Amino acid sequence: MQKVEGSNPFLESSSSRSCSCSTSNREWGVVAVRALTVVVGLALGAFCAVGVLVAALFERNGFGDRGGEPSTAYLLALAIGLVASVGLPLMLWRMMWPSRFSWPAALVATVVAVAGVVWILGISFAA
């Protein structure tokens, strides 16, 4: 930093400190927004996954067409929806907050999603 004649050195050091403080606060704000985005995405994905599984159960029990068989196309769409409701929040988590991404948690979520898809498609083939 060049010394300008007539400038006050105390003001210069004070402004540089306040700048670093606001940068630090800005970084914490970005981390907080990213964390909130990830948490909301994971919660919405979980709610959608539960909704998909409940819809598949209702389809199996005849709440759609009571006299007919469960619709294979509808159950296939529900299986795709289940994969999306688990996969998209995991991708969001990986992109937005990579330092806190947990591979074991992703593996558990993937196993649960695969089990749900097998359950849904097993229902459509059993009918």
pLDDT per residue over 55-106, tens digit each? 998 887 777 666 777 788 888 999 999 999 999 999 999 998 888 888 998 9
Cα 48 from chain centroid (whole Å): 11
Tell whether the model's pLDDT for residue 17 goes beyond 70: no
The confidence score (pLDDT) of residue 124 equals: 52
Q: What is the mean pLDDT of the chain?
A: 81
Q: Is the separation of the CB atoms in 78 and 113 below 8 Å?
A: no
pLDDT given at position 15: 46
In this prediction, residue 81 carries a pLDDT of: 95
Integer-rounded Cα radius of gyration of the chain: 26
Ranking 17-31, 35-49, 62-76, 98-112 by mean pLDDT, the lowest is 17-31
| pLDDT number for residue 36 | 93
Lowest mean pLDDT among 22-36, 41-55, 79-93: 22-36
* CA distances from residue 5 to 12, 14, 16, 17, 100 in whole angstroms, order as listed: 13, 18, 19, 21, 49
